[in-house]
A and B are shown apart, each in its own frame.
Chain A
Amino acid sequence: QKEVEQNSGPLSVPEGAIASLNCTYSDRGSQSFFWYRQYSGKSPELIMFIYSNGDKEDGRFTAQLNKASQYVSLLIRDSQPSDSATYLCAVNVGFGDGTTLTVKP
């Protein structure tokens, strides 16, 4: 079992919709959780981090953490074509394989 699991996708949503990305992890003692966005051929860039249970909002992005369920999610509201990318979930320094999101105009 991989330490960090993500739905491989691809995930396709229409412009303006909410995109929901999910991630589970195996190490119950994990303390830091991150979401990175990676455009094709580019390096990952940080979009959200969360350390405590609950929700954290930043603009159109909301990260949700549930340590009891070992579950992290990322919601993207009002999705735009420019959000089309691969989204990587990271727990401590371990990464999932990413979920590719396509936002269709």
Chain B
Amino acid sequence: SQTIHQWPATLVQPVGSPLSLECTVEGTSNPNLYWYRQAAGRGLQLLFYSVGIGQISSEVPQNLSASRPQDRQFILSSKKLLLSDSGFYLCAWTLGPLNEQFFGPGTRLTVL
């Protein structure tokens, strides 16, 4: 069966510090991978998606970036965090763009 991991589970970072969040998927090959951010009481905002190694599409211009160095690894990064980067970051995978998504447990980021 497929599983998706995210770490860390929670993170408190000062403004201006760097960020690296990691997501890995097990039990499937060549998944589509997604990064979402969820602000308190809101829906999911799509940040990045990837259909393969090294292929990244950005949905929202901001100070975040993503990379996919391996087939089942997806990384979200920032060089300098802003207060507005606080939120619940979710990684998801799917077999194709029209298929259901499966979410990781998420990372709750607080920028102070």
Contacts and interface: CB of A to CB of B under 8 A. Distances in A.
Interface of A: 4, 6, 31-32, 34, 42-46, 49, 51, 88, 90, 92-98
Interface size class of B (residues with CB under 8 A): 20 to 34
B46 A46 contact: no
Interface of B: 34, 36, 41-46, 49, 90, 97-106
A43 B104 contact: yes
A98 B43 CA distance: 6
A43 B49 CA distance: 18
A93 B101 contact: yes
Contact of A43 (B90, B98, B100): B90
- Of the listed residues B101, B102, B104, B105, the one surrounded by the most CB atoms of chain A closer than 10 A to its CB is B101
B100 A49 contact: yes
A34 B97 CA distance: 13
Given A95-B44, A97-B42, A98-B43, A32 B98 contact: yes
